[in-house]
Amino acid sequence: MRMNLSSREKRLLSITAIVLIGVIGYFGVYETLLAKWVELNTEIEALELRLRASQKNYLEEAKIQKEYEEVVSSLRIEGSDTDKQIKIMKELNDLMLEAGVIPKGAKPLNVVEEENFQVFYFSYNDTETNMISLTNFLYLLERRSKVSEIQQIEIKPPSPPLYKPGEQRFKTSFKIARLVYRS
């Protein structure tokens, strides 16, 4: 049994077949590919975020490692306790002079023994300075010596004469502690 279709029916059948193939192609292939493309792009973005975080962590780790090595090297001072005190006082005096503080009345105090460390204490009495130099010294001590700290500071009121117009110098006393690996 053979059916004779008119040209109009053949055209409608062809159009229907094309539309049907297009719909099946759209839902079967295009949407599947689109969903996969979106999924892959989302995965790429997540991987890029992880990469940036890893790079940031790597840079932070390198910075921390460098700081750690600086601290460890500053903790190591060779020699007897007297040699260590002399080296530490020179380090502190150099920082003071760089900041514009005139170190006076410097003397080593006691040494406290701890499990792996020694803590050396020093005092500087009647050190002459102005506020700018004092803040410079405190800044340098904080930035350069990660193992030294001011235990006590006493600032006495300015005393005449003024050295320059508007500049008041005053006497300051410090008690400074410095941590050192036990040798």
Number of Cβ atoms within 10 Å of the Cβ of 172? 22
Q: What is the pTM of this model?
A: 0.56
Strand partners, 108: 122
CA distance 24 to 174: 86
Among candidate residues 168, 49, 47, 182, the one with its CA nearest the CA of residue 119: 182
pLDDT in tens, the chain (183 residues): 566 778 888 888 888 888 888 888 777 778 888 888 999 999 999 999 999 998 988 888 888 888 777 777 767 777 787 888 888 888 888 888 888 888 888 888 888 888 877 888 888 887 878 888 888 888 888 887 767 788 888 888 766 665 565 567 778 888 888 877 766
Three-class secondary structure assignment of 90-111: HHHHHHHHHHCCECCCEEEEEE
Among candidate residues 96, 113, 110, the one with its CA nearest the CA of residue 153: 96
